[in-house]
């Protein structure tokens, strides 16, 4: 069992590989998991055993399946997992350039994993350069095959995406947020995220909607906000279902962690998917964005990261509070 890197009544942080630390945590001890693992092939953080630097995509997917298998045991039976993932393009050079460094950094075990992957190579490993690899869905399907129940893919539309210099395809302006559950019955508070009903066109007597754009010479269609219309299609007076497309701007973080997702994503996930009073877990804690959202919503937080620099960074910044002081 790993000793905590930091521990108080609000936050517990662990330093180590996610799968190893999770193996020492009690079963059914957290109510919700919100996390974003390192994206495949994006960056080498210089830490042996890191996820995301594998020579082959199959090795990356297999490593995440192992992590989330342990996470499913740690998650309460009525808990949910929220997984934020971006995609990657095949380069045709990544595997060759990473083979030696991966084997060296991970010792005999790394060499064995490479041999296993080479024997079963297929799919993303063999894609020619410039192919979108579909890594989020490869991981999602692998987790589904491993026993998770995939309930939603939420499309996170970035209101202020990073510009790309590509000229032969459209720029990437979204990422996927997958919602999984352990079982068919789980905690889900839709009412906490409902949105006000918008104004909708009045309907003709035959029930068909009138044209919103009038023909030449015809009066413009009026809009209705009557109490009857305000109930909405789903019949809920508290508001409408927000749907599975979330437009949320990215949130720059000056403290320099590379891949910070905006706090609004874990806020929504925790509001909807974590029973009050339960602990929130992020096994790729990074700068502590999930921990920040958990604290704002009154939940205890457990974070894990393989890079000690990011644990220290999170304590100095997003998890900073009177009880969180590094001596």
pLDDT tens for 174-189 read 999 999 999 999 999 9
What is the structure's pLDDT at 136? Answer: 97
User: In this structure, what CATH number is given to the domain that contains residue 157?
Assistant: 3.40.50.150
- Average pLDDT across the chain, whole number: 82
Of the listed ranges 10-24, 104-118, 232-246, the one predicted with least confidence: 104-118
The pLDDT-based confidence of 43 (bands split at 50, 70, 90) is confident
Rounded CA-CA distance 237/137 in Å is: 35
161 compared with 24, residue with greater pLDDT = 24
Of the listed ranges 21-35, 68-82, 198-212, 255-269, the one predicted with least confidence: 198-212
Rounded CA-CA distance 268/280 in Å is: 13
For residue 205, is it within any domain? no
For residue 208, is it within any domain? no
What is the structure's pLDDT at 162? Answer: 85
152 compared with 316, residue with greater pLDDT = 152
Region 250-274: what's the mean pLDDT? Answer: 82
What is the structure's pLDDT at 301? Answer: 98
Q: Looking at the predicted structure, is the pLDDT value of residue 135 above 80?
A: yes
Of the listed ranges 33-37, 66-70, 312-316, the one predicted with least confidence: 312-316
For residue 211, is it within any domain? no
112 compared with 225, residue with greater pLDDT = 112
Region 261-272: what's the mean pLDDT? Answer: 96
Residue 194: how many CB atoms within 10 A of its CB?
A: 17
Angle between helices 94-119 and 57-74 (to 10 degrees): 70
Q: What is the 3-state secondary structure (H, E, C) of the chain?
A: CCCCCEECCCEEEEECCHHHHHHCCCCCCEEEEEECCCCCCCCCCCCCCCCCCCCCHHHHHHHHHHHHHHHHHHEEEEEEEEEEECCCECCCCHHHHHHHHHHHHHHHHHHHHHHHHHHCCCHHHHCCCCCECCHHHHHHHHHHHCCCEEEEEEEEEECCCCCCCCCCCCCCCEEEEEEEECCCCCCCCHHHHCECCCCEECECCCCCECCCCCCCCCCCCCEECCHHHHCCCCCCCCCECCCCEEEECCCCCCCCCCCCCCCHHHHHHHHHHCCCCCCEEECCCCCCHHHHHHHHCCCCEEEEECCHHHHHHHHHCCCCCCCCCCC
Q: Looking at the predicted structure, is the pLDDT value of residue 105 above 90?
A: no
> What residues make up the domain containing 64?
6-198+222-316
Region 80-107: what's the mean pLDDT? Answer: 70
Task: Find out whether 314 and 286 touch, Cβ atoms under 8 Å.
Answer: yes
What is the structure's pLDDT at 227? Answer: 43
Rounded CA-CA distance 278/256 in Å is: 30
What is the structure's pLDDT at 99? Answer: 52
Specify the number of domains making up the chain: 1
Rounded CA-CA distance 155/59 in Å is: 25
For a pLDDT cut of 90, what percent of the chain falls above it? 59
With b meaning 16 or more CB within 10 Å and e meaning fewer, what string describes 97-106?
ebbeebbebb
What is the structure's pLDDT at 226? Answer: 41
First to last CA, the chain: 24
User: Using one digit for the tens of pLDDT, what is the confidence trace for 202-259?
Assistant: 555 555 554 544 444 444 443 344 444 444 455 688 899 999 999 999 877 666 545 5
With b meaning 16 or more CB within 10 Å and e meaning fewer, what string describes 6-16?
beeebbbbbbb
For residue 321, is it within any domain? no
For residue 310, is it within any domain? yes
What is the structure's pLDDT at 101? Answer: 54
| Residue of 69, 43, 3, 34 whose CA lies nearest to 278 | 34
What is the structure's pLDDT at 256? Answer: 53
Distances (CA, A) of 12 to 20, 196, 271, 283: 16, 37, 21, 11
Region 76-90: what's the mean pLDDT? Answer: 95
| Residue of 226, 234, 287 whose CA lies nearest to 258 | 287
Dihedral over Cα of 313, 318, 321, 323: its sign: negative
Residue 325: how many CB atoms within 10 A of its CB?
A: 11
For residue 207, is it within any domain? no
Q: Looking at the predicted structure, is the pLDDT value of residue 165 above 70?
A: yes
For residue 241, is it within any domain? yes
For residue 216, is it within any domain? no
């Amino acid at each position: 069992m790993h000793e905590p890197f930091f521990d108080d009544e609000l936050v517990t942080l662990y330093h180590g590989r996610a799968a190893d630390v999770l193996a020492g945590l009690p079963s059914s001890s957290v109510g919700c998991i919100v996390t974003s693992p390192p994206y495949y092939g994006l960056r080498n953080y210089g830490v042996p055993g890191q996820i995301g630097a594998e020579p082959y995509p199959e090795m990356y997917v297999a490593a995440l399946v192992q992590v989330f298998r342990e996470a499913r045991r740690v998650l309460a039976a009525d808990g949910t997992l929220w997984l934020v993932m971006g995609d990657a393009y095949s380069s045709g050079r990544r595997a060759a350039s990473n083979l030696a460094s991966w084997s060296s950094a991970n010792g005999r075990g790394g060499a064995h994993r490479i041999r296993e992957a080479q024997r079963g190579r297929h799919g993303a490993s063999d894609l020619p350069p410039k192919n979108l690899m579909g890594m989020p869905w490869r991981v999602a399907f692998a987790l589904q095959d491993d026993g998770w129940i995939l309930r939603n893919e939420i499309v996170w539309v970035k209101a202020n995406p990073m510009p790309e210099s590509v000229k032969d395809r459209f720029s990437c302006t979204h990422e996927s947020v997958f919602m999984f559950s352990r079982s068919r019955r789980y905690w889900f508070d839709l009412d906490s995220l409902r949105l006000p009903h918008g104004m909708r066109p009045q309907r003709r007597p035959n029930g068909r909607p009138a044209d919103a754009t009038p023909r030449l010479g015809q009066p413009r269609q009026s809009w209705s906000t009557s109490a009857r219309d305000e109930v909405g299609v789903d019949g809920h007076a508290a508001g409408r279902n927000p749907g599975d497309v979330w437009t949320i701007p990215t949130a720059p973080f000056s403290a320099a962690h590379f891949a910070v997702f905006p706090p609004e994503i874990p806020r929504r996930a925790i509001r909807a998917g974590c029973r009050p009073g339960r602990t929130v877990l992020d096994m790729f804690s990074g700068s502590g964005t999930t921990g920040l959202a958990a604290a704002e919503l009154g939940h205890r937080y457990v974070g894990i990261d393989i890079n000690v620099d990011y644990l220290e960074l999170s304590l100095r910044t997003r998890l900073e509070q009177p009880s969180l002081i590094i001596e």
